[in-house]
Structure 1
């Protein structure tokens, strides 16, 4: 499996697969062929069907410059729903055709073994959670010990940068008012939600609204094209920051401990990415919000001081109970139902950790995390394409834009 640096990325929303990935691919293409080349970019599958709402064409134009034409094609390329073909011309002559796939979380896979292809360096030997747990037992490791043995010496500094960026996105989102860009004209509500929450008496409703306001704040920033962290994607970028900021502000958990919890969450996200998918276009929203919920559950279970087995139990519940979740963004925007789902998933992640804490010592969980990851993968393959980030079904059909 790859470094957690490839899971947690800093970038601009609204979509890691539809905005960050294409931008990354276009930047690499431009570096190779230069400013003077002319580019025609064909978008396929989900990139074509929801590209307008996700700003795919906009970001490609911004990256490649004026000598660029973007086409939306009806077909889907065979390897992945998020396919794009770059046609490069110099002096009116076609020089190359290059195919790339945006596979989720801002990651790109190139078709063929081109000399500028991004290397996918594996730093973790283990392929799934079963193998990881065996390594932990054999060495008497925690999940954090495991991460630190494999990542480089600068990784802790990187996690602090990730945490600070997450916190900044929460704080920015809590201050902003107005309308989120796009045809939906959706008002921002994070600031209002937080104001309502802090004026409530102490209790569960107050805490629910505070945590939710943090998730909404980041999700609204993402939907507005602002800087966030993929955790593991842009569409689910509000879940982990909400839990971390809640622990920091409401529970007084210090940053060094939060850094460790973030690394633990990354292990579970990495397993999902390696064995299934974190792409809504590939496997539905279960791959994005479901993955984030599982990661958040593991994170909070670590904060609660649970052992490795119970951390797995919490993460397993977080993914299991999002199985089959469809990706049906209204108008192709990462707004409805995406923003609300971030708040909901943050709440459920904490519930999963509390369940694991109180039930795990009574009855051993019979469902492994790896089993649920495999089920999620199979479920994603079985989902009709209308429910995989195409805006052809579900809630997307209920709105006439």
Structure 2
């Protein structure tokens, strides 16, 4: 959409795993539905609610926790602040009591087995990730609202009209990479500085800074938890967590307490290539193992790809002396702008574009961000972003059992390593000789997405999802 204003906090959202489009989006849609009932003073007239899941939400909804997400949203729980350790208990009680308290205010009978309907063979035309809420009122009235979870936790209501007059007017409107480069050339500002100026249209620089610090803290906490949490992931595939064992092996008995001491312990191991490579993989595994376990993560730009940016940023912090707050925030600001360019020109929804829209975009974001953060020019940063995506084009989304585990978790390690490699290539190259632009790759990604068979778009109807027995563990 031309001149679509997208904030850094639209790209980076705090939420609950395992999927931004199948968990966070439906969760938010359920909250929007109850809010609309309250606004119309009809919440307490509701006697029944049913939820219809269409397309990709139906086919992989169980594995992605879509049914759990809509129940949590209808209950009035918030994905940013809820106790993630209490989700299972809340859902267990609801299933046993068969009662749902809408928005924490109005109890109604609710049986998830009958009131959440998975329409496997029905898809609405606007987007594969669609869900409808049907409410029956005590006065005989029926209310129906349909929402689309369009990727990265973004939600759009059916027939929703955006009033352009009410949109934020950015000082530097950007739709394409060429627009971004134009403003950088005209002002002499870096990418992150252009983004920070645009963020001032929403809030003060200090508020933006505080919000970004919070985003990084959630990423850090997620990595630390994942690196110290052993066991088997939920869902039935019996996938064993690997990050904690790898963390323990790499640290070889070094004792520490808390995140800061952990980072110092990691640094004691030196800068051997294989050592660094193992840590980048460990960081990415940790985040996505947490994501697969309904942990708290940050969309970057999605939950399924949530490990790439934290892993590359942690690499920057630990091994590239990027541990100043300014450097970390610069990284996040630059990454967010690249993500928004992909959302505007293509998609960040695997149900629309396959995994190139998730791991590919996150790798591109991380590549551009670390390039600028380590001293690359604006053109080198965009070159790095292009290289990373160019080598993810056509990547399919074929989760086994509809779970965000195989091959999703390992793909985050691949995306992180490709981002670092793309950055190094760009830093050692001259953009003057580049044959492919970032805008050309964004368009190519969208063309590829449209050509891709639907069975490779988060439906579990093709690829590994068909060729690997569900009982076979990943490792």
Normalising by the smaller structure, the TM-score range is: over 0.9
Q: What corresponds to 2:248 in structure 1? A: 195
Larger deviation, residues 288-297 vs 87-96: 87-96
| Residue 351 (str. 1) matches residue 398 (str. 2) | no
Equivalent position to 1:212, from 281, 290, 310: 281
| Residue 84 (str. 1) matches residue 169 (str. 2) | no
| Residue 135 (str. 1) matches residue 204 (str. 2) | no
Instruction: String of CA shifts for 1:150-195, please: whole Å, max 9, x gaps.
Output: 1121111111111111111100100100011111011100011223
Q: What corresponds to 1:295 in structure 2? A: 365
Structure 2 unmatched runs, 5+ = 38-42, 76-99, 101-108, 253-268, 471-475
Equivalent position to 1:266, from 328, 336, 350: 336
| Cα separation, partners in 2 of 1:96 and 1:122, compared to 1, 3 Å | farther
Q: What corresponds to 1:11 in structure 2? A: 15
Larger deviation, residues 236-245 vs 93-102: 93-102
After TM superposition, the structure 1 = structure 2 runs for residues 297-316 of structure 1, keeping only pairs within 5 Å, are 297-316=367-386
Q: What corresponds to 1:28 in structure 2? A: 32
Instruction: String of CA shifts for 1:38-88, please: whole Å, max 9, x gaps.
Output: 211111110000000001012212332534411111211100000111112
User: Offset of 1:92 from its aligned partner?
Assistant: 7.2
In the superposition, the TM-score normalised over structure 1's length comes to 0.95
User: Offset of 1:303 from its aligned partner?
Assistant: 2.3
User: Offset of 1:255 from its aligned partner?
Assistant: 2.2
Separation in structure 1 between the aligned mates of residue 32 and residue 23 of structure 2, nearest angstrom: 14
Equivalent position to 1:43, from 36, 46, 53: 53
Larger Rg: 2
Separation in structure 2 between the aligned mates of residue 278 and residue 222 of structure 1, nearest angstrom: 18
| Residue 169 (str. 1) matches residue 216 (str. 2) | no
1:359 alignment partner, SS class: coil
User: Offset of 1:230 from its aligned partner?
Assistant: 0.2
User: Offset of 1:95 from its aligned partner?
Assistant: 2.4
- Contact 2:129/2:149, CA 8 A, preserved across alignment: yes
Instruction: String of CA shifts for 1:76-113, please: whole Å, max 9, x gaps.
Output: 11000001111121127342211110001111011124
Larger deviation, residues 6-15 vs 243-252: 243-252
Instruction: Please tell me the root mean square deviation across aligned C-alpha atoms, in Å.
Output: 1.9
Separation in structure 2 between the aligned mates of residue 298 and residue 71 of structure 1, nearest angstrom: 42
Larger deviation, residues 61-70 vs 298-307: 61-70
- Contact 1:25/1:108, CA 8 A, preserved across alignment: yes
- Contact 1:391/1:397, CA 8 A, preserved across alignment: yes
State the aligned residue count. 398
Separation in structure 1 between the aligned mates of residue 450 and residue 281 of structure 2, nearest angstrom: 31
Separation in structure 1 between the aligned mates of residue 344 and residue 220 of structure 2, nearest angstrom: 27
Structure 1 unmatched runs, 5+ = none
Separation in structure 2 between the aligned mates of residue 307 and residue 89 of structure 1, nearest angstrom: 58
2:428 alignment partner, SS class: helix
| Residue 2 (str. 1) matches residue 55 (str. 2) | no
